[in-house]
Amino acid sequence: MIIELDLQSEVPIYTQLVNQIIEGIASGRLQLGEPLPSVRSLASDIGVNLHTVNKAYTLLKQEGYIQVHRQRGVVVHPDGMPPVTESFADKQRSELRPIIAEAICRGMGKEQMLDVVESLYKEITEYREEK
């Protein structure tokens, strides 16, 4: 998986890293149980501070996306992701709410928003469906 960071973005680098790893898992490009680079190695490879990678890995671990093993290192959670809970659904709603509000303010209609969501869903899952 190739990590692409936008160093000029207002989105913090650790957030970009978290988002790309989650998308890698969702798309199937990162398989359950697959090892990830160590904090030091990834920081060096993408040219960021190791504390940035450490923060991203910590967040991913807290959310259940990765596990850290003493012998095996960092791996994509081998048992898969926890199921959708009410708190997860609430979190998603609160994160989507301002995005949808902004789209409405700019004149985007419901059908256009749904088209965007459908397109992104297809884009992310396309790799998984090819296998």
pLDDT in tens, 35-94: 999 999 999 999 999 999 999 999 999 999 999 888 889 999 988 887 899 999 999 999
**What are the boundaries of each domain within the chain?**
13-76, 86-130
Mean pLDDT for the chain overall: 93
Question: Mind giving me the DSSP string for 108-131?
Answer: --HHHHHHHHHHHHHHHHHHHHH-
pTM of structure: 0.88
- The DSSP 8-state label assigned to residue 77 in this structure reads -
Domain 13-76 is found in CATH 3.40.50.300: no
Helix pair angle (13-27, 110-130), 10° resolution: 60
